[in-house]
Structure 1
Amino acid sequence: MTVHRDPKRKTWYYVLDLPRGDDRKRRQKWCRGFSSETLAKRAEELARKQFGQAELAADGTVAAELLKWLEERELDVALTTLANYRHAVMKYVIPYLGARQLYDLDKRAINDLYRTLLKRGGRKGEGLSAETVRHVHRTLMKALKDLGVAVEGVRQPRPADRETHGRKGVWTAAQCATFLAHAAGDRLYAAWVLVVVCGMRRGEIAGLKWPKVDLDKRLIHIHWQRAVASGEVAGGIVEKEPKGKSKRSIFVGTALARVLSDHSDQQGKEIAAAGVAYQELGYVFCKEDGTPYHPKYFTDRFRALCLAAGVPVIVLHDGRHTSATVGADHGVPRHAMQKRLGHARATMTDEVYTHVLPESERRAAEIMEEAILGSPPAE
């Protein structure tokens, strides 16, 4: 690339060398219209910074380069992560920017993409949520970085109001007891106890197998999960290790050990009744023939039990928030709760998963007022 002056137009321009085409002939892109040599040099320097490390194919389009990037990421990312990357690229980025040359991609084009997605990026022409567009942004920025491209000045959408972090609610200890008392006769009662008491995730419940449950030592080893992936994965389900600190072992008390033991006994009766039709796959929570449930089944069943029990309807993942909050209110040490939930950072447990319930607020008010104002006068 180099800067030149156009004597006819009395402006400055620079020339960008592109990858050779299939015919191996040299290709160039001329960037014209700069009012001064200084502006042309700045633009040239920015282009060099943006694309100096890029190794583009002959096609050089955004679509071709991102598809190539997805193929390369098959080597080093989990199936679910790859599916999320592919969904963002194929559904949102390529339809809007795919025909552009990657060398032409700038902040305005990307910011326009985000605005379009926020206004009418949905299937029926409705706007996408800010969080979805932020996911598209993170995916695109990751791809450009891996390709050696740096586009400065891109503005990702502001985060949506996250006061509730997408949750519908958190139960008190009394509501937990009410729910579990109602669910005591449910075939998956032990699963609901693990959700509320231990804060296990849906995928961890769906993927739990008996070899990872040690009732003698009262330990559950959470080393596997059964999660929903994209349609590209057979059946839309993938089984894998949980990421990071989520792989953990947790202790259970006498009461929960008894619940799991009773569940095992009941499953033994089902195995005997099914006979040769039973598939010995080792799942703790499975259908009567031994085959695993789709993870969404746990979500739907949990909601139905909430409605039947007359407690506030919360999503299954809120069982983790409930577990963290009730534990904090009843004196479970911070580091112990962090380990039980499988969080890498204690701040995640404190700031996102632990909430102040009304009962706790009232107790706090009474304690502070008695300490500072003294005991209330006798009636």
Structure 2
Amino acid sequence: MSVEQMFKDMTYKRCACTTAVLDEEGNPVVDDETGEPKLRYLEKTCPQLTRPNHGSWYYSFEVEPGADGKRRPRAKKGRYRTQEKAATDAKEAWNLAQRGVNVVSTETVETFLRRWIKAKKLELAKTTAHEYERDIDLYLAPHLGAVRLNKLRTDHVQEMINWFEEENERRTKHREKVERLKSACATANGAWRAAPKAEKAEKRALWTAARVEYEAERKQVRRVTGPNTLQSLKATLRSALSDALKQELVAKNYAALATWPKPVPVKPKLWTPQNVARWRRTGQKPYPVMVWTVDQTAEFLDSIRDDRLFSLWHLIIFRGLRRGEATALTWDDIDLKRGIVHVSHQLVSINYEVHEDTPKADSEGDVRLDQETVRLLKLWRKTQRAERKEWEQQGAWVDAGGRIFTQENGEGYHPQQLSDRWERLVDLSGLPPVRLHDGRHAAASIAFASGQDPKVVQAMLRHASRRTTMDIYTNVMPEMEQASAEASVALVALALERVRRAKAKKAKKKGKKPVAA
């Protein structure tokens, strides 16, 4: 028997024609309630099935017992127009079954994803689990949820990706339309205000109509789903289907086979004079991630030198700790004698609720402190102890488990509180805006400007590899080369000055006239 014939033998034809139910004597059986004859489907026995366009084709075959040895339902599917199509799908289903896939399961993608994330949360970091749940709720379940898991294919995933790209184009065009309406509204408003009294009513009516149209369209503006969001979806779906593959629920990891948009790496850029001028002119950051120059960082530190949390800002700016890592630090994590901070946990905010979690992947480790940071932390410890004594006398001290950076009453900081405070300090300084997280980038910029090797910067930032550090700071390093070169010259100039002073002092002792510089 040929392979083609084998799968054709798994097919059969049936229809929805009916005939009267007969009793043993051959008489129609009547329904007692309706008084109508009872009917039954002819299915495979319909005499008209020999006609090409009558009925539909189905396939059916026996499936191997499950791992528990129990017999499974037969694999069935129908409503095919041709026997060839039914046989083709029978072959595909049979091959999947031979590879261990449970082809008779009716579980949908959404049901599986909900079941998967419920178990997966036990081994994931809280922030990762939150991101996975968000991706499932907002994107994967709405687009793929209704598909049966064992029927999922690359085409389904690709259709979802294509929908996002097409929808993004529509949303971008709509945003452009809203901007045009906004401009037209502003023009109409100016025309109304500048119009002579006799024309004001007419101009006001035009402005009102323009404003109504603008407001109606503005309410319909939707955020574009960017490449980085799609990369997050890819990671979530790949992880889920990887586990489904291990459970023999799918034949392949179809998320890995689809073509996804390439992620757009967000690289920091310096607040050069040109970028600052553009910001002052437009009020907008020229790039998503901006970093101060060394001079701007020095200006900021000088402007906040009297802030209560100066030691915290100094630690972030010079040693590159993340916000959550700094807020989670305890005095047990730091060795001021050796000048080392051990980063082993962080505070994360999920829907504003704070959780303690492990650091980002490969970010756990030791960070060496400079002498100035050690000095500031020692002063801060004295301040904290004095505050504790005062608040304990009032019976109002809150024990935050030995956290280094606490409020006056000992209570720990919510990570967002630090971001809000940083933002206010930046605003008061008059400098261009930089996020608290970008203080970490400042640490790297200062390190590069001082001529440190990228390997040293990698260790400080606790990146997984030197390449990661180089990829992130490709845009910053060329602009820092001049500062590094100037720093080298300045270093030698200082040494030269010390040599000259020493020579002059020696010559003075011998009573000789100093050599002119």
TM-score range normalised by the length of the shorter chain: 0.7 to 0.9
Q: From the superposition, tell whether residues 17 and 353 of structure 1 become closer, same or farther in structure 2 (CA, over 3 Å).
A: farther
Partner of 2:259: 155
Match of 2:119 among 66, 72, 77: 72
Rounded to whole Å, the distance in 2 between the matches of 1:271 and 1:110 is 57
Alignment of 1:34-45 (within 5 A): 40=88, 44-45=91-92
Q: Secondary structure at the match of 2:452?
A: coil
**Following TM superposition, by how much is the alpha carbon of 1:196 offset from its aligned partner in structure 2, in angstroms?**
0.8
Match of 1:140 among 237, 241, 244: 237
* 1:333 has 2:453 as partner: yes
Rounded to whole Å, the distance in 1 between the matches of 2:63 and 2:224 is 36
Q: Secondary structure at the match of 2:366?
A: strand
* 1:3 has 2:120 as partner: no
* 1:279 has 2:327 as partner: no
* 1:28 has 2:125 as partner: no
8 Å CA contact retained: 1:19, 1:57: no
Partner of 1:374: none
Name the amino acid aligned to 1:140. L
Rounded to whole Å, the distance in 1 between the matches of 2:292 and 2:325 is 21
Alignment of 1:110-189 (within 5 A): 110-118=157-165, 119=167, 125-148=222-245, 149=250, 150=252, 152=254, 153-160=257-264, 162=266, 164=268, 167-189=288-310
Name the amino acid aligned to 1:261. K
Q: From the superposition, tell whether residues 31 and 62 of structure 1 become closer, same or farther in structure 2 (CA, over 3 Å).
A: farther
Rounded to whole Å, the distance in 1 between the matches of 2:117 and 2:98 is 19
1:187-241 deviation per Cα after TM superposition (whole angstroms, max 9, x unaligned): 2111111111001111111111111122222221111111123x4xxx6222122
**Following TM superposition, by how much is the alpha carbon of 1:290 offset from its aligned partner in structure 2, in angstroms?**
1.8
Rounded to whole Å, the distance in 2 between the matches of 1:199 and 1:256 is 12
**Following TM superposition, by how much is the alpha carbon of 1:12 offset from its aligned partner in structure 2, in angstroms?**
9.3
Bigger RCO of structures 1 and 2 (CA < 8 A, at least 6 apart): 1
Match of 1:251 among 368, 373, 384: 368
TM-score (norm 2): 0.61
Rounded to whole Å, the distance in 1 between the matches of 2:57 and 2:414 is 62
Moved more, 48-57 or 263-272: 48-57
Aligned length: 358
8 Å CA contact retained: 2:396, 2:409: yes
Query: Which structure 1 segments of 5+ residues have no match?
Result: 368-379
Rounded to whole Å, the distance in 1 between the matches of 2:96 and 2:155 is 17
Name the amino acid aligned to 1:73. K
Query: Which structure 2 segments of 5+ residues have no match?
Result: 14-51, 66-71, 172-219, 270-286, 489-517
Q: From the superposition, tell whether residues 18 and 112 of structure 1 become closer, same or farther in structure 2 (CA, over 3 Å).
A: farther
Alignment of 1:1-379 (within 5 A): 3-4=7-8, 8=52, 25-30=73-78, 32=80, 40=88, 44-45=91-92, 48=95, 52-54=99-101, 58-118=105-165, 119=167, 125-148=222-245, 149=250, 150=252, 152=254, 153-160=257-264, 162=266, 164=268, 167-229=288-350, 231=351, 236-275=353-392, 276-281=395-400, 282-353=402-473, 355-356=476-477, 358=479, 360-361=481-482
Name the amino acid aligned to 2:137. M
Q: Secondary structure at the match of 2:398?
A: coil
Rounded to whole Å, the distance in 1 between the matches of 2:117 and 2:292 is 42
Rounded to whole Å, the distance in 2 between the matches of 1:19 and 1:157 is 40
Structure 1 vs Structure 2 CA RMSD: 3.8
Rounded to whole Å, the distance in 2 between the matches of 1:86 and 1:101 is 20
Q: Secondary structure at the match of 2:406?
A: coil
Moved more, 159-168 or 307-316: 159-168
Moved more, 302-311 or 156-165: 156-165
8 Å CA contact retained: 1:226, 1:295: yes
Rounded to whole Å, the distance in 1 between the matches of 2:317 and 2:61 is 60
Q: From the superposition, tell whether residues 69 and 363 of structure 1 become closer, same or farther in structure 2 (CA, over 3 Å).
A: closer
Name the amino acid aligned to 2:261. P
1:339-369 deviation per Cα after TM superposition (whole angstroms, max 9, x unaligned): 111111011112214623545358779x9xx
Rounded to whole Å, the distance in 1 between the matches of 2:265 and 2:386 is 49
Rounded to whole Å, the distance in 2 between the matches of 1:51 and 1:111 is 26
Q: Secondary structure at the match of 1:193?
A: helix
**Following TM superposition, by how much is the alpha carbon of 1:270 offset from its aligned partner in structure 2, in angstroms?**
1.7
Rounded to whole Å, the distance in 2 between the matches of 1:17 and 1:141 is 31
**Following TM superposition, by how much is the alpha carbon of 1:151 offset from its aligned partner in structure 2, in angstroms?**
5.1
Rounded to whole Å, the distance in 2 between the matches of 1:71 and 1:57 is 24
Partner of 1:372: none
**Following TM superposition, by how much is the alpha carbon of 1:318 offset from its aligned partner in structure 2, in angstroms?**
1.6
Q: From the superposition, tell whether residues 19 and 322 of structure 1 become closer, same or farther in structure 2 (CA, over 3 Å).
A: farther
Rounded to whole Å, the distance in 1 between the matches of 2:95 and 2:238 is 18
1:262-292 deviation per Cα after TM superposition (whole angstroms, max 9, x unaligned): 1111112221222121122211112222222
8 Å CA contact retained: 1:16, 1:29: no
Name the amino acid aligned to 2:380. H
1:140-173 deviation per Cα after TM superposition (whole angstroms, max 9, x unaligned): 1221121013254422123246455974312222
Q: Secondary structure at the match of 2:342?
A: strand
Percent of aligned pairs sharing the same letter: 26
Name the amino acid aligned to 2:424. A
Q: Secondary structure at the match of 1:279?
A: coil
Rounded to whole Å, the distance in 1 between the matches of 2:483 and 2:335 is 40
Rounded to whole Å, the distance in 2 between the matches of 1:341 and 1:115 is 37
8 Å CA contact retained: 2:450, 2:484: no
**Following TM superposition, by how much is the alpha carbon of 1:114 offset from its aligned partner in structure 2, in angstroms?**
2.6
Rounded to whole Å, the distance in 1 between the matches of 2:428 and 2:391 is 30
Rounded to whole Å, the distance in 2 between the matches of 1:200 and 1:57 is 52
Name the amino acid aligned to 1:172. T
Q: From the superposition, tell whether residues 62 and 19 of structure 1 become closer, same or farther in structure 2 (CA, over 3 Å).
A: farther
